[in-house]
A = this chain, B = another copy of it.
Amino acid sequence: MIKISILGAGNLGRHLFNNFIQTKEVEVIQWFNRNINSIESHKNEVSITNRIEELKEADLYLLCLSDDILPEISAKLNSLKGIVAHTAGSVSMDVLSDHENHGVFYPLQTFSKNRAVVFENIPICIEGNNNLSEETLNKLAKHISKNIHAINSKQRMGLHTAAVFVNNFTNHLYQIGNEICEEQQVSFEMLLPLINETASKIESITPKEVQTGPALRKDINTIQKHLDLLSNPEFKNLYLTLTDSIQKNDEHSKL
């Protein structure tokens, strides 16, 4: 049995709480959040607090906090003996180095408030400053996922950067697709099978191999037609930049 305290109640903190509270081998002994009202409804399931001084001894303190307040909160945990781990993609493990045992527990996924998440297949990136930290984090991760990876801080930063491309930036392209559909009065739903196929294809073929379209073909006629159709100068600019990037990448790979 691992005894953990969760600090933070943003999207990730909530999803982890909801999962760990249902996991037999894990005991969530406390949930900390600066705004106690937002976790008030859980007070019958777990001890809640908004005061760091009230934190009890636990095997592990899981910091599900925004990047910028990690150093401040970490400093306030100095009297505690448990392992201190953060859950951030682009923060080095060293931010917690004041603690004898520290590490990182980073689930590589996007979390939304009202959308359930099945952790089973979500990659969890683990880093520990020593065997105890790493093994404890590993054990914790195994209780909710089958997809655990030992990843150092530099690699995790790479994954987080790549995640911005395949998630935030991709979602922005979906949004542009949506706006074009609205302008042309066609349903955005018509694009969903294409979006799904694009995402599914790369499970078996590399993105490089499946690339198609006017940019790669250098089909100037079609490119011009698309630019003529786009009324938003921002979208035109993005179209040109991405087209150029596809072509440069292709030339580079032919060298």
A residues apposed to B, CB below 8 Å: 67-68, 90, 108-110, 112, 115, 121-123, 125, 147, 149, 151, 154-155, 157-178, 180-181, 183-187, 190-208, 210-216, 219, 221-222, 225-226, 229-230, 234, 237-239, 241-242, 245-246, 248-249
A186-B151, A222-B67 known; A202 and B192 CB under 8 Å?
A: yes
Contact in complex: A162, B181 (CB < 8 Å): yes
Contact in complex: A184, B154 (CB < 8 Å): yes
Contact in complex: B163, A194 (CB < 8 Å): yes
Copies in the complex: 2
User: Within the complex, which residue of B147, B184, B198 is in contact with A166, where a contact is CB–CB below 8 Å?
Assistant: B198
**Cα–Cα distance between A180 and B160 once the two chains are bound (Å):** 10
**Cα–Cα distance between A10 and B110 once the two chains are bound (Å):** 37
**Cα–Cα distance between A170 and B116 once the two chains are bound (Å):** 25
Q: Return the chain B residue nearest A145 by Cβ.
A: B193
Chain B residues within 8 Å of A196, by CB: 199-200
Contact in complex: B166, A226 (CB < 8 Å): no
**Cα–Cα distance between A168 and B245 once the two chains are bound (Å):** 12
A170-B173, A194-B109 known; A183 and B201 CB under 8 Å?
A: no
Chain B residues within 8 Å of A197, by CB: 109-110
